Structure 1
Amino acid sequence: MPQKQLTLELLTAEIKRLHQENQLLQQELLIQKTQTQLLQKQIGAPTPESSQQAYLTNLPSGPEEQSNRNEEMNAIEEELRQSLEHTLELNEKIATSEAQYRLISESMRDMICLHDLEGIYTYVTPSSKNLVGYEPEELLGKNPYDYFHPEDIEKIRVTSHNKTRQGLADTIVEYRFRHKKGHYVWLETVTEALRNENNEIYGLHTASRDISQRKQVEKERDNFFNYSIDILTIIDYEGKIIRANFAWEYILGFPVKETEGNFIYDFIHPEDVNKTLAILSQHKQEADVTIDFETRYLCKDGNYRWVSWNYVPFPSENLVYGFGRDITQLKLSEEAARLAQFSIDHASDSVFWIGPDASILRVNKTACLLLGYTEEEMLRMKVADTDPNYSEEVWPEHWQELREKKNMIFESAHRTKDGTIRPTEVSVNYFQYNGKEYNFAFARDITERKQAEERLQFNSLILSRVNDAIVGVDQQYNINYWSESAERQYGLSAADVLEKPLSTAYTFEWLHPEDEQHMATSLAQKGYCKFEVRQTLYNGKKLFAEMVVQQMTDLFGKNMGLFAIIHDITERKQAEQQLLERETMLEIIFNESTDALFLVESESGKIIKCNNKAIEFFEADSEEELKGKFGPSFHKHPFTEQHMQDKVETILREGEWSSEIEYISLKGNEFWGAIKVKYINIVESQYQLVRIADITSRKQAQADLLRYAQRSINILESVTDAMFTVDHNWCFTYFNKEAEIMTKMNRSELLQKNMWNIFSDALGADFFEQCHLALSQHTDVHFEGYSPPLQLWFEAHIYPFEEGLSIYLRNINERKASEKAILESEEKFRTLTIQSPVGILTTTPDGFCTWTNPRLQEIAGYTFEESLGDGWAGFIHQDDVERIVEEWKNNAQSGLSTVSEYRFVHKNGNIRWVRGTTNPVLSDTGEHIGHVGTVEDITERREAEEKLRSALEELKKRNHELDNYVYKVSHDLRAPLTSIMGLVNLIKIETDPNTIRHYIDLIENRVIKSDQFIHSILSHSKILNSQVQINRVDFQSIILDSFDQLKYMPHSDRLQVHILIQGPAEFWSDVFRIDIILKNFISNAIKYMNLLQQENFVHFNISITQKEGIIEIKDNGLGIDKQYQPKIFDMFFRATEKADGSGLGLYIVKQTIERMGGSIHIESEIGQGTTFTITLPNLIQKKPGVIGQ
């Protein structure tokens, strides 16, 4: 136990002993006094009235009785003397005890007090003055609860006084006591019960000491423990947490109440528990060992963090004090350093450490593989050995430049071990380490990039020649892009249509109604679609167009509008219409054919379509009666399986099968038919085309030969390719219908004519060479070519045969156009993005930037290289970046577009508002492959919107003032009129002339007030609407004239006007407005004079400079209450109901001053007067003239 605590307890025990001894002595003295009183009663107390009678009465009757009486008196006197001596002795002991008690208590620094059972102070030692600032007399009779801190009262009542009064035990309690100076001091008080001889409690004894310093130390200790940035923990040797600080919560996420009482193992990574157990066991065995170790701790969110611990044992308490520091970041940094070294060693770029003398100090594996040297060979080389651009003569200049710039990026070339020169992009970085200079260089092989750039240039050239119109629209279908080809196609320039609705150029209707829904679905799923429409141009012209529509999205997948490539297919549609007409004709021919025609399924042999002649031949009622029938079922002589197999083999071998067959119709009639069967492909399905000619009446051989020739011609005519044959003299021997269509020539005019005479332009061309090759070498030839006269891309198949060549040509214009359109589209997209007025960027699915256009680089102020990777996030203002990235991530996961407005921080520090849009990019298979985003600078728009909002707020305010103004004016105009009307009615019924004259005076007064009010309104209107007329201002004349004009006002003669004008300059401003201002103040000074005063005045103190004029107007009138001063410039405000003004005066004054560019200030006290200070600009530099409102 501390020495100080021991001393306090000894002193307290001594005081208690003295107090108890004092009580016993006082009790004994009380007994003695009582006994003395009893003796006195026994002998009787003599009184003056009865002394003589008593003496006579008590006289002894004889000598013996007298003697006995004397002895008895002597005995009583002796007893009284002894009792008195004992009493004096007791009083002396009491005085000594009390002196000792007071000496001890008054010499103590602690405060000793006695209390009754209610706690009231009955005794207080003088140390109370030093301890709590009160003299003992100030506390006597007071309840100590009046001085306790409100938060400690219940604790004291429960833990101290109640228990002590109940005699349960002595208590010690710590609490705050209000010092006389108002602050609180911490006291530690020991309370015990005082008992009498019957062991009954009759009071309380308290001993209090000041523990404020100890509490401060404890608070600082607790603050250190609780608020340390390190994890502080006290545990026992079993691992139970006795105490934990707040770092557990903000580092690991566990509140203190969730840690204390639990075991430390509950929070340790399972792999580290045994290590911690071993450490605690070691502490138990080696109590003086301090151990440092690292382990992983569980966070409340499920993660783990690394903590470095220092365990210090306290054997006397069987506790271990743990000091833990979060080293997770250090661990991550170490891991990052290892990863960085690994990344450098395995980087895809070559990495070099180079010294000032161009020697290679270190290289990674990639550099060795790229250049073909071993690492040992590289370390013996210099830069000039691998880079021919940096010889020993050039190197010093390069090193000096690098030393100044610190880092550079440039393109160079590396020479490999076999002598190959490879283009390289080099990034060099200058740094110093341990006083030495180094160059840390990255080299990237850009051979493929160079090839890609050449390809890109070629693609750009191709795209620049695109003929299809390219049109872009926003989400409201306003045109935001109009290509040169669109200008040619539609006859409108970009200036005519940009930012205007699409209907300005054309409207369109769907050729296929289902395409509208298809477009919406395809755009939503794939981001693009293709369809055909009929357009009506602005001039009424109509055309057909094939449109490929691509959805435009920003960086976050937000829809920004549509981008369309429009191909004019009017000619194709016209050709399709002609084809449809021809198909109709063919259908007619099909049905009007003299032969029966069937379309038969190849596998089943069932009829799926037939013509009218087939219905006629087989005597059916309709086509439906023949559909689904098995063709050979009509044969009179059914085919055997061998016949069927031979038929198929013949078709496969020869392309068709023909025969003459006898048929039986549905009605049983027989006829002969010449059948011809061939396979045809429709879309992706194969069918049999069966033709049956009625040959019942023609069985002659000539007829058979003729039919065979006709069948051959029909086969050639049915092919979709242009086909013709030439003999060895290059003369046409056959020319099919499709060839006529392709060449636009009549075959009757071509047969037996020389092909090279007809197509002389082909002489020497590829077609000419290929035909000669096929004929001379008797080999099949297949190639593609282009015919300028026919404006036709064709695919040619040339087959030699005995009589010459058969040539098949297929029109591949559409395929070539598609290929060209794709190339042009790619180049056009690059061109558009480079020239785009908005910033554009592309990223990978996880947001890694892969490309930005020049506009985005201009908005952000960063180079192309700086904007790549995660660089784009650095453009965004730090207050917006978390929100934008979160929105992008949420929408990216859902495949949605994102549109946001946020701030861009330019590289120079300027802040610009932008509107960013991001859309996901999907592959043909629907896979998410990245994002494309746009960034539009909307700073001017935001500023304009802010100005518009301010203007609207101002307009609302003005409208409200106008409504209030109209209401007040109408009310104040009607009030005197109503009063006048009432007086007029009174005059009508009044007969007394004096009364009538009084009413007329009242009417005159109302009329004057109305006139004054109307004059105020007119002044206000004139001030609002008139222009500022600049003239020299004569303040003295204006003030005196105004005073003269107001002399009609009551008591105006009692007002003294004083004018003081100072300053070297003249004052130029609007005289009319200044006259209104000063007249209002003179009028108010007259109205609100203090008539109880002997003197009433108004002072005009005017100070003029070249810049401004300051007018101070001071009166000693009634003054204005401070609660009304903020409102006195409001329209129609009157500070008192006694005021007879319009309430417009000071409102007009302030409005006038503000319109003149000035300000006004008021100071006023009730009964003291009012001072107005007006500041107006001096317009001397603009004299004379007019300034518009």
Structure 2
Amino acid sequence: MNKPLTITDISKILLENSFVGVHLVDSEGIIQYISPQIENMLGYKATEMIGKKAWKFVYKEDKKYLIKTNEMLTNHLGLQKETELEIRLVDKNGKIKFFYNKVYNFLDDKIGFIVTYFQEITEKKEEEEYFEQTQQYLQAVLNHTQYGFFLLTTSRKILYYNATAYEIISKAEENLRIGDDLLDYVNSKNKAHFLDVFDKCLKGESISYERKIILSDNTEKWLDFRVAPIYLKKNEIYGISITLTDITARKTAEMYLLKSEKTLQAVFNNSAQISFLIDKDYKIIALNRYAIKSTEAKLGRKAQIGDDIFDFIDESEKEEVKKRILYCLEGHYLRIERTIKLQNNETQWLEIYYAPIENENKEYFAVNIAMFNISERKNAEEKLKYSEKLYQTIAENFPKSNVNVFDKNFKLIFTQGELYKYMDLVREDFLDKTIYEIFSERTNLILESNMKDALKGISKSFEHRNKLGFFLVNTLPLIQETDKEIENVLVIFQDVSDVKAKEKNLEQLNYDLDNQNQQLKNKEEQLLASNEELTVSNEHLILQQDVLEEINDKLTQQRSILENVNTELELKNETLLYRENELKEAYEKILQQQEEVQFSLIEQQKLNQQLLMKNQELATQEEELRTTNDQLRIQQDEMRITLAQLSDRNFELDQLVYRTSHDIRSPLTSVLGLVNLMRLEGLPDNLAEYVDRMEKSVQKLDRFVSSMLNFAKVNRTERKNEVIDFEEIILKCYDDFRYMPHFEKVNKKYFIKNEKKILFYGDILRLEIIFANIISNAIKYQNRLNAPNNFFNFVKIKIIFYFFDIQ
């Protein structure tokens, strides 16, 4: 039968089988124990290290730091239980090695030592130093290269630039700084193109292009830009790199080469239009033979390559032409029409096209000005406008008419149609026929004479009547140009049947009016005779009227006296009535005021009664409030006593839970250690299942006790806001749950996104409990049935900081 293992034996087995080195140090810093891993790491045997000061094996520059850490732990027993640090140790061969240490203070516990875990990180540190040296070498190379180099963030901020880039940019703009937006140093004309290129690079494209920049001394420089994304990880763009190369010399040579190409000149010379090729300095770099002829016809001298285009343009038009050329150099096309006056005072219409010319780099370096002589087309357009205007005038002045045009040989060359309706002809096509073939002989006698007068510039008209009605035939000269002979006659047949009918009606009305006037004259004579008789009888009546007027005067005098008396009586009567009305109104007002006073007295009495009742009710309520307040004060005193008692009970319960949980965890940990040792020793098949169940039950109880401890800690400690390191909390949780089943088969990932470096404040203890519950549940309840053989589910933690700017 095997001898049972002690706690010391179990601890030794665990330490010796750990993947990290462990040593125990007392309060004086003397090594009491080292694990075999440290022997392998440093090459010393245990006997060479035990009993010596721990800092004897530490690199000289780290000794003070280690001694200070040891004093901090030993002088604050019970306050600081653990710490982490990185130190350098010297192995037996004198080689310096880097270690990550996690130190636990168990001086006040049963262990009685400071326990330190060692994890070698020499390889990691060497990689970091190599990366730093490589970065320094790279920076030195970039600063001495002929190429300018920029490294930008995804938001265009400058992360790095070399000396060559500074020399290029600083001449165009001063005060180049890390952190600036590179867009601020780009010329306003090139900003849109720069933003387009930058957006394409953010999508993964690499772009190269050439651009001309203007320096502060107004000199020009051509640069070759190579813009490419930088990947920190696969498919994750970290930033944008821009490489600049000065290509001014090459571009100058290319531009002069393009100017001297003979092919372009040949194309110009064989073109039908007038063509000029103008560069950005408004110099003629190419022109064809028609352009030479046009300048000679206009100014009397021939244009040549190298001449300024403005030497051949009127002073009043130079500014407008300059604007058009600049507009085309931005990639736009223009078309205009205008007239010019030649040296012989002849006016010529030109159609002018402005077109930008690109080079092989898709840059606009010149403008092609092409001119076409459109004088004939414009003259035709003017004639068409004149004809349209003439037709409109005829339509307005000759309604219900038919318009026809005859040449000087009296041949019909244009007709509006339906000529047969106006001249009572058989319907047929009359075009290209003379008047002798169209009209009757009697009509032609008058029409021929009038048309001859029209060819002399004299307008005439005559009336023509047929069974269809009356028609007015107008002959007018058709003048197209004032200084030329009249060749066409305008003949307008106007239907005036309605006018003639109205004239006939008017004549009948005039005849009827004359008859009525004669009848009126007869009646007037009869009235004059009767009027004389009336005059005689009127004289007799006048005499009688004089007598009656004398009698009437007397009656009028008497009537006026009576009217005066009557007026005085009416005035007195109106005065009495007015006073009577005033007295009635005053009496009614007095009665109304008496009623209002009586009503207000009654209302006042009612209000007084209501106020008395309300005062009584308020007095009763005030007494009740006093009684209620006294009762509330008594209840508050009782509640304060009860709360104080509850606070004491809660504190006692917290202490009981904390102590009980702490005491229970120690044997539980021992039981779990014994279970692991039993497995190492080997178990019969019939006991393995019971041991597994026992282990699960103990782990479940341990988790319950841990949660009780955490709950007690949360209740005992006050909420305190501190800066939170989420990475430290997550790693600590991983370390605490290493003992859990299948922990090593869980893929653990965490992602913390904090681009703006925001500090997060909170209660560390409560956050540790929250993360511990999340991670332990994820490990405990993982789905192992559907997972691959060598790998279970994973724990993925994602923390994103959101910044809210509250204003």
TM-score by structure 1 length? 0.18
More helix by share: 2
TM-score by structure 2 length? 0.24
More strand by share: 1
